[in-house]
Amino acid sequence: MATSYDAVVIGAGIIGAATALSLSRGGRRVLVVDKLPASGYGSTSGSCAIVRPFYSTVEGSALAYESHFYWMEWPDFVGKGDERGIARYVNCGNLVVKCARNKYLKPILEVMREIGCPYRELDPAEVKQRLPIVTLESFDPPRRPEDAAFGTSNGEMLPGAVFFPTGGYVTDPQLAAHNLQVAAEAAGAVFRFNTAVVEIPRRAGRVDGVVLAGGEHVPAPVVVNVAGPHSFKINQMADVERGMKIKTKALRHEVAHVPSPPGFDYAVKANRFYILPHQKIKTSIESRMRDILDEREPVDVSRPR
Ligand SMILES: Cc1cc2nc3c(=O)[nH]c(=O)nc-3n(C[C@H](O)[C@H](O)[C@H](O)COP(=O)(O)OP(=O)(O)OC[C@H]3O[C@@H](n4cnc5c(N)ncnc54)[C@H](O)[C@@H]3O)c2cc1C
């Protein structure tokens, strides 16, 4: 094990493991520290693992759009060294309805045009033709299930949807983090689990590595904070939070799983639309959604230069 490092990465989630891989392949000596027992055990393991190019900022969207091309080549990107297997990216695309709350997707589509990300607008008839179980009635405002008016339409009809072909989902986000870990280790990175960072010491006005629970000091000129929802605590330890313009806090996120409508077989009918992953329909929805676009005119989904 190396005794000195160019960088200590705090957190072995999908982002920490990817950071470690890039730094290691760039020739840096990297230590990754995580208080949990394995990579991807934090919020990464709870993720729905949807990959989508549309976010609210140009920078965020450009980064997410670029990630699609890495996911497309995932086995080549991470290599085949992980004996647990390789996570799969299902490039089924994303379908998002237009509604008042998302400003009918106008701001998003402006960003998509700016970064050159392909999309296709579908009118209600096209949406219905592709996926008959979709209703374009509006159920706004959102209500909790125990609300008597839950599931009651407000009488308005939504004007359609947008299909984004460069999206989909990853079958196992925790495995994807492990794939990155194995690739990073092959490039020289060291991972230490069940090890919490409790202090970020400073020397001559700069960070000087980390102090681990138990008191061990690991010196390093660079510390990367990718500690997930609680990363603000690391910022507080490093005494850098007060000067930050953007601050974060941990939030709980509710994800609902609903059964398929009675009599509807996703495996047969939904093979051209994104449906939240379900083990039983995994194979059938793998057929790509791009052909939905090609029926009208081909859309260029190749990597931009
Ligand atoms: C319910 C849910 C659904 C989601 N769905 C999606 C989705 O569909 N698509 C999408 O793109 N994103 C989704 N996300 C968000 C996505 O999961 C996160 O953005 C991503 O996993 C963050 O990865 P990370 O590596 O930054 O953080 P994490 O995976 O949380 O990793 C941070 C790591 O830091 C470690 N750590 C923290 N503090 C310390 C410390 N002091 N010392 C040592 N280690 C420490 C933790 O143990 C943890 O392992 C979802 C999130 C949730 C919760």
Cα of 226 to ligand 1 centre, how many Å? 9
Nearest protein Cα to ligand 1, atom 20: 44
CB 118 near ligand 1, within 6 Å: no
Ligand 1 atom at shortest distance from the alpha carbon of 195:
43
pLDDT at residue 274 above 60? no
CB 50 near ligand 1, within 6 Å: yes
Helices (H), the chain: 14-25, 43-46, 58-72, 74-78, 106-115, 124-130, 173-186, 231-237, 266-269, 282-285, 290-294
pLDDT at residue 285 above 60? no
The string of pLDDT tens digits covering residues 122-158 is 999 998 887 788 889 999 998 888 899 988 999 999 9
Q: Confidence band (pLDDT; 50, 70, 90) for 296? A: low
Contact 54, 62 (CB under 8 A): no
User: What is the rounded average pLDDT of the residues 4-30?
Assistant: 98
pLDDT at 265: 64
The string of pLDDT tens digits covering residues 48-58 is 999 999 999 99
pLDDT at residue 72 above 80? yes
Distance CA 138, CA 96 (A): 13
Q: Confidence band (pLDDT; 50, 70, 90) for 299? A: low
CB 224 near ligand 1, within 6 Å: no
CB 15 near ligand 1, within 6 Å: yes
Instruction: Give the 3-state secondary structure of residue 199.
Output: strand
Nearest protein Cα to ligand 1, atom 33: 11
pLDDT at 182: 98
Cα of 15 to ligand 1 centre, how many Å? 8
pLDDT at 277: 39
Confidence (pTM): 0.88
Instruction: Give the 3-state secondary structure of residue 24.
Output: helix
Cα of 138 to ligand 1 centre, how many Å? 32
Nearest protein Cα to ligand 1, atom 35: 11
CB 43 near ligand 1, within 6 Å: yes
pLDDT at 305: 66
pLDDT at residue 183 above 50? yes
Contact 236, 249 (CB under 8 A): no
Q: How many CB atoms lie within 10 A of CB 276?
A: 15
CB 230 near ligand 1, within 6 Å: yes
pLDDT at 267: 53
pLDDT at 266: 60
